[in-house]
Structure 1
Amino acid sequence: MLIKVLVSMSGPSETYTGGQVYEVANERAARMVARGFATAVEETVLAVEPGAASEPDMIAETPAPTSKRGRRK
């Protein structure tokens, strides 16, 4: 179950940061929601249009060096 943690908390084997969304076992999530530490989040599925690119068309370019490195001669 997806939950949004309202307050930061940690235990012996996990840490939850307030404001973040986590996938948690159903019984643990139900206890956290019942005690007011979290709220349930609806799972949403994003629709992808047929033929849409899976990767953005942006390519990172490295900037040209502005000056040579090293000692001046």
Structure 2
Amino acid sequence: MTQRIVTGFLAFLTVLMVAGFVLSFVGLVLPSGCSEDDLRCSVGSGSFDTIAGFGLVVFGGLTLLCGWALQAWRHRHDCD
């Protein structure tokens, strides 16, 4: 049961990382094409997407590394 929970959590973090890559790609690559007064465009045009995307990638990546290390450690001790 615990193994299923850990595997599901790692899969969820992988999805978060992919979403972060997509969000940061959109924020960095696509031009905004909006004027400064257009509030509708201000959130989705660059800096917010990039910061949110990189945040998701870093958080997801660090947590995934910790999860994989914990799984490897548990597997090594279960086999002893």
**TM-score category of the 2 structures, normalised to the smaller one:** under 0.3
Could you tell me the TM-score, scaled by structure 2's length? 0.24
Structure number with the higher strand fraction is: 1
Structure number with the higher helix fraction is: 2
| Larger of the two Rg values belongs to structure | 1
